[in-house]
Amino acid sequence: MGKLPSLKNLSYLLALHQQQNFNRAAAACNVSQSTLSSGIQNLEEQLGCQLIERDHKSFLFTAIGEEIVEQARNIITSTEELVHYAKGHGNILEGPVRLGIIPTIAPFVVGALSKRVQQNYPKLSLQLAEDTTNNLLNALRDGDLDILLLALPMDIQGNQKWTLGRDPFKLVAHKSIADKLGEPVDYDMLPDGSIFLLEKEHCLTGHAVSACQLTDTVKVNPFTATSLHSLVQMADARGGATFMSQMAIDHGILDNTDLIPLKPSGQEASRDIGLVYRATTSRRQTFRKIAEEIATLLPINTLS
Amino acid sequence: MGKLPSLKNLSYLLALHQQQNFNRAAAACNVSQSTLSSGIQNLEEQLGCQLIERDHKSFLFTAIGEEIVEQARNIITSTEELVHYAKGHGNILEGPVRLGIIPTIAPFVVGALSKRVQQNYPKLSLQLAEDTTNNLLNALRDGDLDILLLALPMDIQGNQKWTLGRDPFKLVAHKSIADKLGEPVDYDMLPDGSIFLLEKEHCLTGHAVSACQLTDTVKVNPFTATSLHSLVQMADARGGATFMSQMAIDHGILDNTDLIPLKPSGQEASRDIGLVYRATTSRRQTFRKIAEEIATLLPINTLS
DNA sequence: AAATTTTAATCCGATTTACCGATTATCATA
DNA sequence: TATGATAATCGGTAAATCGGATTAAAATTT
């Protein structure tokens, strides 16, 4: 059995990969540049292969170097989890948990969730981050976040998930056109350009469109909103319609508007809400507890 | 972020857990006893918790100590895999792969499999071990084996699996009673005590009995065999019957006997064959290649 | 009961390693 | 040509790791 590389050197490699610069990486590790440099060389020697290509000024990670970084990340985060577990004396329900949530879910769960967690697991400190699905998945991979609350179906890469529940879609329409639409809604009765959607980055757009089998793109207004709240405002002001999640409606997003929720057509007009975590985590039990808390807050709880 | 424990100390802990003795553990690690002792103390200090209870002569792992061992094992094997990967310069199809197989599968695949692997991946060295499902799962957990070829369904604990294919069961009966049984076989026509089975430890027994919906235990002969080959010999000599996997029959296990394969009753008279691996492995791709090789050797290939 | 053996912890000196600061080499840019 | 940025190298120092000897406590043998 050959000697194993040190975790320290592996963490130097990770920092270097993140910073793409020896000085900044060294600073991030609180060591000198020379230490980090020789650490990397040391690593290459031990592993018997070149991790970075030096071209006398800058450098590039080799293909195998990238792969090694990936594996090293797992090792480091696993070890951090071990330390965290030990420091908490085996009490898995204490310490920080970093939860990322997409913007079309966050506003409707963070309040109640942090209250419940605070109450049921007072030693657990839930740290929240709001971002798009892609950014959240990157942060999960890098170990910057522990769990993600996402809308499914979604490519969650090498990660694992629990499906917590379902969030039905409603078509909400201005009262001036609502009574012509029927239930389930006949999209043909909508004026052209009367449907407002979120910008494409938000997966709710795609989920709603496919779940509700909306095919006639002429109905869609090209002006897109960046948040559910402004979406509602726009549909209300312009006398149009939009898709809205039940969760948002339950939280009063339609209050003080003239929008009316209607049953959309399409067989299963809803999105699944799932909690995603690294396959390699050792804190599955902790995250499961949080999953249970979140599930109770969803319109339809399907956590088994 | 607190300092991470060293891999060396973690490996000391693993050795101690395996050997349950400081001197032997130290020897296994090629260090002195004092080094290992202080390594463990060091670890306890860094982790801020007691890993072993000393009662002045011997010692015991604490509950949390056991948990830490579990996590440390993952970390160490992950790192070994990283080294292996690097040493092979990213060529995942070289180096040793340790495969465990249960006794009711092994004789019928090892020959062809090692030949195929030798031919298609000459740098891959396949090391085989034959044992019961439970022992194999323990060896997988301890990092002594990399992949297991098992019969499913089966509780594979925290591990992951691919289902490679299906192995149908036949009821094989002595020619003196075969023609009375019909096809699919009517178990009522079997004389009491004429069905021979493997001893309980072999999961084929349970799988066959449940798959073929054999409920009348009076038919079963209480004398049980320890291998498929002796099972066949017994059923042949005593003019009885037994369940036999298609794979075994294909490999001529009934040659030179008076046993005849018949279609058993029961809706899905077969067992699934699966390849099991640690969820935390980083050699999934390598194992997948081997999975594909094995699947081609099974009576029914269902690997997707 | 005494002596021996086994086991883990402790102490201490020697070696090795890790680290930093300073310097150098190389290239890009002003 | 001078300046700045970057990564590698070098040499000295501080820190850690390690092993042998010893100790302490208990089990085993005599």
| pLDDT of res. A201 | 55
Buried-exposed string B82-91: b where 16+ CB fall within 10 A, e elsewhere? bbbbbbbeee
Distance B57 CA to D27 C1' (A): 9
B3 touches strand C (CB under 7 A): no
Q: What is the dihedral of CA B289, B294, B298, B302, to 10 degrees?
A: -30
Peptide bond into B184 cis (omega under 30): yes
A54 touches strand D (CB under 7 A): yes
Q: Which of A14, A62, A71, A77 to mutate to test the interface with B (most CBs of B within 10 A)?
A: A71
User: Amino acid letter at A299?
Assistant: P
Residues 202-221 of A with CB under 8 A from B: none
| Residue in B49, B67, B83 closest to A47 by CB | B83
| pLDDT of res. A195 | 83
Closest Cα of chain B to A61: distance in Å? 14
Report the distance separating Cα B143 and Cα B155, nearest Å.
18
Residue B46 has pLDDT above 60, yes or no: yes
B34 touches strand C (CB under 7 A): yes
CA angle A214, A216, A222 (to 5 degrees): 95
Distance B49 CA to D20 C1' (A): 29
B285 reaches A (C-beta below 8 A): no
Peptide bond into B191 cis (omega under 30): no
> Domain segments of chain A: what residues?
7-87, 95-165+271-301, 167-270
Of B87, B164, B78, B92, the closest CA to residue B124 belongs to B92
A50 touches strand D (CB under 7 A): no
| pLDDT of res. B250 | 92
Q: B5–A79: do the CB atoms touch at under 8 Å?
A: yes
- Quick one: tokens of B291? 């999975």
Q: B7–A6: do the CB atoms touch at under 8 Å?
A: yes
- B164 with B303: CB under 8 angstroms? yes
User: What's the whole-number mean pLDDT along residues B13-24?
Assistant: 86
- Inter-chain Cβ pairs, chain A and chain B, closer than 8 A: 108
The H-or-E segment that residue A259 falls in is: strand A259-262
| pLDDT of res. B217 | 66
Strand A124-130, strand A95-101: pairing: parallel
User: What's the whole-number mean pLDDT along residues B260-288?
Assistant: 86
Residue B297 has pLDDT above 90, yes or no: yes
Report the distance separating Cα B282 and Cα B284, nearest Å.
6
- A228 with A257: CB under 8 angstroms? no
In B134-240, at which residue ranges do the beta strands (DSSP E only) sit?
Answer: 147-152, 160-174, 195-198, 220-225
pLDDT band at B291; cut points 50, 70, 90: very high
- A263 with A255: CB under 8 angstroms? no
Contacts of A164 (CB under 8 A, 6+ apart): A149, A273, A274, A275, A291, A294, A295, A298, A301, A302, A303
Q: What is the mean pLDDT of chain B?
A: 85
User: Amino acid letter at A220?
Assistant: V
pTM for the full predicted model: 0.73
Residue B172 has pLDDT above 80, yes or no: yes
Q: Provide, as residue numbers in chain A, all residues whose Cβ is less than 8 Å from the Cβ of B79.
A: 4-5, 75
Lowest-pLDDT choice from A147-161, A186-200, B77-91, B270-284: A186-200
Tell the residue number behind the tokens 């991946």, with chain if given.
B121
Using CB atoms within 10 A of its CB, is residue B50 exposed (0-12), middle (13-18) or buried (19+)? middle
Q: Provide, as residue numbers in chain A, all residues whose Cβ is less than 8 Å from the Cβ of B280.
A: 74, 78, 279-280
Contacts of B57 (CB under 8 A, 6+ apart): none
| pLDDT of res. A211 | 61
B23 touches strand C (CB under 7 A): yes
User: What's the whole-number mean pLDDT along residues B153-157?
Assistant: 85
- Quick one: tokens of B64? 């949390």
User: What is the CATH architecture assignment of B7-87?
Assistant: Orthogonal Bundle (1.10)
Residue B247 has pLDDT above 70, yes or no: yes
- Quick one: tokens of A181? 């639409």
Using the C1' atom of nucleotide C18, identify the protein residue whose alpha carbon is closest: A35
| pLDDT of res. A225 | 66
Of A68, A119, A121, A114, the closest CA to residue A94 belongs to A121
What is the full per-residue pLDDT of chain A (304 aa) written as tens digits?
568 899 999 999 998 888 888 888 888 888 988 888 888 888 888 888 888 878 766 787 887 888 899 999 999 999 999 998 888 877 788 888 999 998 888 888 888 898 999 999 999 999 888 888 888 998 898 888 999 999 988 888 878 899 999 998 888 999 888 888 777 777 778 888 778 887 665 666 666 666 656 666 666 776 666 678 878 888 888 888 888 889 999 988 898 899 999 888 766 778 899 999 988 888 888 999 999 999 999 999 999 8
Chain centroid, CA B205 distance in Å: 16
| Residue in B1, B64, B75 closest to A89 by CB | B64
Q: Max CA-CA distance within chain A?
A: 76
Of A146, A18, A7, the closest CA to residue A79 belongs to A7
Q: Which chain B residue has the Cα nearest residue A11?
A: B4
A38 touches strand D (CB under 7 A): yes
Q: Which chain B residue has the Cα nearest residue A284?
A: B158
Peptide bond into B168 cis (omega under 30): no
Altogether, the residues listed in chain A come to a count of: 304
> Out of 3.40.190.10, 3.90.1410.10, 3.40.50.1360, 3.20.20.70, which CATH number does the structure's domain A95-165+271-301 have?
3.40.190.10
User: What's the whole-number mean pLDDT along residues B243-269?
Assistant: 86
| pLDDT of res. A179 | 83
- Quick one: tokens of A187? 């999209």
| pLDDT of res. A6 | 92
Q: Which of A44, A75, A282 to mutate to test the interface with B (most CBs of B within 10 A)?
A: A75
Can you name the residues that pair with B241 across neighbouring β-strands? B173, B195
Q: Provide, as residue numbers in chain A, all residues whose Cβ is less than 8 Å from the Cβ of B6.
A: 6-7
CATH superfamily of A167-270: Periplasmic binding protein-like II (3.40.190.10)
Name the most confidently modeled range: A80-94, A114-128, B167-181, B257-271: A114-128
| pLDDT of res. A295 | 95
CATH number 3.30.1490.20 given to B95-165+272-301? no
Nucleotides of C under 7 A from a protein CB: 6-12, 18-22, 26-28
CATH topology match: A95-165+271-301 vs A167-270: yes
Q: B71–A85: do the CB atoms touch at under 8 Å?
A: yes
Instruction: Give B284 or A200, the one with higher predicted confidence.
Output: B284
- B33 with B26: CB under 8 angstroms? yes
Q: Which of residues 56-95 of B touch strand C (CB under 7 A)?
A: 57-59
Q: Which of B30, B78, B283 to mutate to test the interface with A (most CBs of A within 10 A)?
A: B78
Contacts of B275 (CB under 8 A, 6+ apart): B147, B148, B149, B150, B161, B162, B164, B287, B290, B291, B294
